Amino acid sequence: MKALIAIDLSPASWEVIEQAVKILNQSDDNQIWLLHIANPEPDFVGYEPGPQAVRDGQAKDFHQQHQTLQEFAERLRAMGTECTALQVQGAYADKILQEAEKLQAEIIVVGSHGKGLVKELIYGSTSNQLVRRAEIPILLVPTPD
């Protein structure tokens, strides 16, 4: 099965990966992608670029996130599960759906953080957007707040 596991690099991300792999290992010939969506650079979303120090900080954050993502992938490979790590920038739900389509994923796995009812109603959530918009199955893994 071709699976896209979208993680936010929070402490709960490994739990999401473990649960996904546990389910995916029930079938043979899996292809797994670990995906992290980084915040877009201000230049790409219509904001002024800002001082160089801000841009340098964003580049450092992006690099650190990429390194953490690679560590998750290496940990998974050490357990005998092959995967490819991907990091892109943009709006979370949009990018997850775009990558899933591009990779021809058959399932998307995401963690579902409980934001609380009021925040959920006002802001929605990435997982809710995915459930509403995806054309393939979504596996939601509940994670602690």
What pLDDT does 33 receive? Answer: 98
Placement of tokens 């409980």 in the chain: 114
- Residue 137 scores a pLDDT above 70: yes
What pLDDT does 105 receive? Answer: 98
pLDDT in tens, 77-86: 999 999 999 9
What pLDDT does 73 receive? Answer: 98
Indicate yes or no: pTM above 0.75: yes
CATH fold group of domain 2-143: Rossmann fold (3.40.50)
H-helix segments, 6-139: 13-24, 52-78, 92-103, 117-123, 126-133
| DSSP-assigned letter for residue 10 | S
pLDDT in tens, 77-125: 999 999 999 999 999 999 999 999 999 999 999 998 765 555 455 446 8
Q: What is the bridge-based pairing of β-strands 138-143 and 107-113?
A: parallel
pLDDT in tens, 15-67: 999 999 999 988 888 999 999 999 877 655 455 666 777 778 888 999 999 99
Q: What is the bridge-based pairing of β-strands 84-89 and 31-38?
A: parallel
